């Protein structure tokens, strides 16, 4: 199995797009939510492979047996994991809660701020992985 990056970004119109920047055969997907965009993307990959195989072309070889690693811009991540409380996440990251809500709507986020938020998200993930229920 090959790994390939699929980038998820929120557009200015509020929709979400996914594309593969590192493959010979660039594939796109879009939707009104991240989940819709992922479904469209995965369907497009499948159709892409089928069409090229029917035509006897080998162009999609870089897509066959590939597992996609999704990478998100911040608004896309916050949409996909919308059950996260923005105020509490902002507090954990040391970011103003009002600013965090602006980021969710698509406001530009600096690399430094994105890194702080990502670190907080990863810390929460590690804490959740340590939970044991009885």
CATH of the domain at 56: 3.30.160
Strand order of the sheet with strand 28-31? 28-31, 16-19, 2-10, 66-72
pLDDT of 58 reads 65
Do 9 and 67 share a domain, yes or no? yes
Name the domain count of the chain.
Answer: 2
Residues 13 and 66 reside in one and the same domain: yes
Residues 16 and 53 in one domain: yes
Is 78 contained in some domain? no
Average pLDDT over residues 59-86: 87
Range(s) of the domain holding residue 6: 2-73
Examine the domain organization and report whether 6 and 49 are in the same domain: yes
Within-domain flag for 113: yes
What local confidence, expressed as pLDDT, does residue 59 receive? 63
Q: What is the model's pLDDT at position 24?
A: 79
The predicted-structure confidence for 49-68, as pLDDT tens digits, reads as follows 888 788 877 666 677 788 89
Judged by average pLDDT, the poorest of 46-50, 102-106, 125-129 is 46-50
Question: What letter does residue 3 receive in the DSSP assignment?
Answer: E
Q: Does the pTM of the predicted model rise above 0.85? A: no
One domain, residues 68 and 45: yes
Between the alpha carbon of residue 34 and those of residues 5, 61, 78, 95, the distances in Å are 16, 26, 10, 24
Beta carbons within 8 Å of 109's beta carbon, 6+ residues apart: 74, 103, 117
Task: Decide if 35 is inside a domain.
Answer: yes
pLDDT tens by residue, 1-22:
788 899 999 998 999 999 998 8
Query: How far apart are alpha carbons 100 and 133 in whole angstroms?
Result: 31
Q: Mean pLDDT, to the nearest integer, of 39-44?
A: 95
Residue 99: partners with Cβ closer than 8 Å, 6 or more residues away:
90, 107, 113
């Amino acid at each position: 199995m090959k790994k390939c990056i699929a980038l998820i970004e929120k557009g200015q119109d509020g929709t979400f797009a996914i594309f593969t920047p590192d493959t010979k055969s660039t594939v796109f997907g879009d939707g009104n939510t991240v989940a819709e965009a992922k479904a469209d993307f995965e369907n497009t990959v499948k159709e892409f492979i089928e069409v090229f195989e029917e035509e006897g072309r080998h162009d999609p070889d870089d897509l066959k047996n590939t597992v996609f690693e999704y990478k998100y811009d911040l608004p896309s991540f916050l949409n996909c994991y919308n059950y996260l409380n923005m105020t509490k996440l902002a507090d954990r990251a040391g970011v103003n809660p009002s600013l965090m809500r602006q980021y969710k709507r698509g406001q530009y986020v600096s690399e430094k701020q994105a890194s702080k938020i990502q670190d907080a998200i990863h810390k929460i993930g590690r804490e959740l992985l340590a939970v044991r229920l009885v």
